Amino acid sequence: AYEVTWDAAAAEKGGYDTFMEKEIHEQPHAVADTLLGRTDAEGNLVLDELHIPVEELRAVDKIVIVACGTASYAGMVAKYAIERWTRLPVEVELAHEFRYRDPVIDGRTLVVSISQSGETMDTLMAVRHAKELGAKTVSICNTHGSTIPRESDAVLYTHAGPEIAVASTKAFLAQITASYVLGLFLTSLRGESYGRSAAEIMAELQGIPDKIEQLLGTMDRVEEIAYFMADSRSVLFLGRHVGYPIAMEGALKLKELAYIHAEGFAAGELKHGPIALIEPGQPVFVVVPSPDSEHGLHGKVVSNIQEIRARGARTLVIAEEGDEDVVPFADEVIRVPRTSPLLAPLLTVVPLQVFALHLSTAKGLDVDQPRNLAKSVTVE
């Protein structure tokens, strides 16, 4: 006779040790499903539920994104893309600050909230406040029928599927994707095109899930580094442009999961203060923009790597395949597939998620249920 042991939790985790690991691997699907059905038979972009007349959307003269935590970093990424595509000014505000500071908004302001659960109390209060002030509200949300989408004028659901791990991963990628879809929708509505067309960018977005899949297949070395670094006291993260919020997100994941003092900076800030922290052995992740980036940004970040390495930092560099300029100054190079600069965050964040997951595991911590944190923050 033999015993059958059946672990319901393991089954739920689809063979992975933790929900977070499972959810990291579901990211290609989260992005693909969030893109699914976003174009009609004529190739026009469509939103899920839109109760704002098209003329009112065309009249929008400012976008304010309200969110908290990881969702606010998705908003920061989206700001770069949406401003670029629509030429509308986009502000990103922490929902709990927005609510309490007499924001200047009116009927021509589109307030976009981002919340995985749709129940984040700070974000809900910000949406209600925006409505009182006459703004149009769009909810980007992962949970059908939750409070924030119900109270908003329009909804764009992220189709990431249920996210169980407290630290957000696939919902983050889906939030960026949905924000991009919204940006492209507004671009089409406004009949403007700045650089590439909305259709071209959508086509490139469709190719992202395969690139994430490919990237996930190359994470062995990141896992190894995380195990080596299990006793790190602090880790810094640098990025510029869309890489700046990714640096912030990489740091937040490490705080949440490994209780390590981690901080993300705009690389340009380094010389204005934080470089004082660099001492021999200090690990620093650097999110390098594509060599195709405009304004010579790539070269500027390569200089930043050089500067911190000259002061003894251990540089962990996330760079595009084929970017050889970073090699002389990198202790480790983590490669991501090539893509256009504005879509790169959907790739560059992945190694940072995997790093935080394995460093937390190496420290013997509970990856899915970090101390002090709740999945949805339903109180103010």
Instruction: Give the three-state DSSP class for 361.
Output: helix
> Comparing C-alpha atoms, which of 160, 122, 124, 128 is closest to residue 144?
160
Residue 3: CB minimum distance to a copy of itself, A: 38
Contact set for a copy of itself, span 147-166 (CB under 8 A): none
* Distance of closest approach, residue 40 Cβ to a copy of itself, in angstroms: 29
88 lines the binding site for a copy of itself (CB under 8 A)? yes
Query: Is residue 294 within the footprint of a copy of itself (CB under 8 A)?
Result: yes
Largest CA distance in the chain: 73
Binding of a copy of itself by 368 (CB under 8 A): no
| Least distance to a copy of itself, CB of residue 51, Å | 26
Cβ distance to a copy of itself smaller for residue 29 or 79:
79
- DSSP output for 41-78: TTS-B--SEE-S-HHHHHT--EEEEEE-HHHHHHHHHH
End-to-end CA distance of the chain: 56
Whether residue 222 contacts residue 335, with contact meaning beta carbons closer than 8 Å, is answered with no
99-138 positions binding a copy of itself, by CB under 8 A: 99-105, 122
Q: Does 221 bind a copy of itself (CB under 8 A)?
A: no
For a copy of itself, which residue of 269, 321, 322, 327 counts as binding (CB under 8 A)? 269
- Between 44 and 303, name the residue whose CB sits nearer to a copy of itself: 303
By CB under 8 A, is residue 94 in contact with a copy of itself? yes
CB-CB contact of 314 with 214 (8 Å): no
DSSP secondary structure of 90-145: EEEEEHHHHTTS-----TTEEEEEEESSS--HHHHHHHHHHHHTT-EEEEEESSTT
- Give me the residues that bind a copy of itself (CB under 8 A), please: 62, 68-70, 80, 83-84, 87-89, 91, 94-97, 99-105, 122, 233-234, 240-241, 244, 252, 255-257, 259, 261, 263, 266-269, 271-279, 294-295, 297, 300, 311, 370-374, 377, 379-380
